[in-house]
């Protein structure tokens, strides 16, 4: 786990010209990779972390490939695709990583997740957080990326004067 610091530092140093979201997703990917190796986490959590890590790594690799020698228009399209893939990955794994076990609790978490993902609505139900969800480092990175991918509330869908 000691190498996580150096991986994050390398990402910061190598970020020349990359969007802020790219670095945030890279750090979340590193955190997911290290947490999936942590034997204290359940097999279900480690499996979810492995899947999240893979999806984020694929999104990063695809973005890197598409922007190697691209025009501004191509870079913009690549970034939009990158953000969409990260958005899908985050919301696909949020319920299983963050909600405590229990049918009712998971169901409430799924409803909250759906409302947040598609409508930008704040959670409507109180959900117990899993033991892993209380992991401060991972949760902070996870929520930072999620916040970055979610539009601001004050935008009013472009209808405000």
Walk along the chain (161 residues) and give the pLDDT tens digit of each residue.
455 544 554 555 455 678 889 999 999 999 999 999 999 999 999 999 999 999 999 999 999 999 888 788 888 899 999 999 999 999 999 999 999 999 999 999 999 999 998 888 888 999 999 999 999 999 999 999 999 988 665 444 443 43
Closest by alpha carbon to 51, among 79, 88, 21, 24? 88
Q: Is residue 24 part of a domain?
A: yes
Question: Which structural domain, as residue segments, surrounds residue 62?
Answer: 17-99+131-146
Specify which residues 129 forms β-bridges with.
99
- Helical (H) or strand (E) element with 126: none
Place of tokens 């020349």: 16
pLDDT at 15: 57
Cα–Cα dist 123/112, whole Å: 5
pLDDT at 161: 33
Write down the pTM of the prediction.
0.81
Total count of domains within the chain:
1
Place of tokens 């949760």: 139
**Contact criterion met (CB below 8 Å) for 25 and 32:** no
Q: Is residue 90 part of a domain?
A: yes
pLDDT at 70: 76
């Amino acid at each position: 786990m000691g190498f996580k610091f150096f991986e994050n530092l390398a990402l910061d140093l190598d970020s020349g010209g990359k969007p802020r979201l790219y670095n945030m997703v890279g750090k979340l990917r590193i955190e997911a990779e290290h947490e999936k190796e942590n034997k204290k986490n359940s097999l279900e959590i480690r499996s979810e972390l492995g899947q999240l890590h893979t999806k984020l790594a694929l999104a990063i690799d695809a973005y890197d490939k598409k922007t190697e020698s691209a025009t501004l228009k191509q870079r913009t399209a690549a970034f939009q695709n990158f953000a969409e893939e990260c958005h899908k990955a985050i919301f696909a794994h949020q319920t299983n990583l963050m909600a405590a076990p229990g049918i009712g609790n998971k169901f409430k978490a799924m409803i909250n997740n759906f409302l947040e993902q598609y409508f930008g609505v704040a959670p409507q139900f109180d959900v117990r957080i899993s033991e892993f969800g209380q992991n401060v480092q991972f949760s902070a990175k996870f929520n930072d990326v999620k916040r970055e991918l979610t539009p601001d509330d004050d935008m009013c869908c472009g209808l405000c004067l």
